[in-house]
Amino acid sequence: GSWFRKPTRGAIGCKPVDLVIPGSTVRPLGAIVLAAGLGTRMRSARAKVLHELGGRPLVRFPLAALAPLEPSRVVVVVGHQADEVGAAARASGLPVETALQPEQRGTGHAVQCAVPALQGFDGDLLILYGDVPLVTTATLRRLVEAHRAEQAQLTLLTMRFEDPTGYGRILRDGAGRVRGIVEHRDATAAEREIKEVNPGLYCVRASILLPLLRELRADNAQGELYLTDVVGLAAAAGHLVTSVELERPDEVAGINTRAELAQMEAQL
């Protein structure tokens, strides 16, 4: 339904996450939380992630899901009402830094804005959204564990819908390997028949993400820099790209309108 996201679109001190995979080296874990948008469909002057659910601003929910993983770096990308969003994020108790996205030019541009705050970080990065309050620690942990168990450079969540309208479709090669994502607006008629879609959560090695971000181009229907293009760029460069299927799609239910906010409030 309309709840689900339709892609378009401090202090340091915590110890690295303790996710040990046999035969692997544990790397630091960081996170980028995208929280810069106003959310025009909310019909409010308040930034979307400052609207409250259960008495807490939306941005606090994904940060609460992250907290048990003890990330050593957390960058929240802010834009509209940047100071207020930053204050709400820092109230989570995580080692939050903020990065300003002065104008919204797409999800890829938002992550580019986080790069200066991640200088010197050489670990795994979770990328998620500030307006997806139902995502669980278990799902984030499963994503990181699968990423490390496969020794992948990039791992993304996927899910399946009978009606995938609006979502980016997962493209696979003949061997079943992920080779990219095509957004709904840019997809061919055949690609729109694909049921496997992208909810927008990733775990990626910082060492490959930063160079790939420089290759993003806005040659698409939206005229924006898509973060989803990083997946195809990574596969084309020979990096190992893997996926984890989300078991409960309701976890990535986004909030785009006040009606959806009220409906989720009632559910909680």
Residues annotated as catalytic are 41
Query: At residue 243, what are phi and psi to the nearest 5 degrees?
Result: -140, 160
CA 58 to chain centre: 15
Other C-beta atoms closer than 10 Å to the C-beta of 175 total 6
Strand partners, 98: 76
Other C-beta atoms closer than 10 Å to the C-beta of 182 total 21
Listed residue (91, 120, 122, 105) closest to 34, CA to CA? 105
Instruction: Provide the terminal-to-terminal Cα distance of the chain, rounded to the nearest Å.
Output: 18
CA separation for the pair 46, 157 (Å, rounded): 30
- Residue 205 near residue 153 (C-beta atoms within 8 A): yes
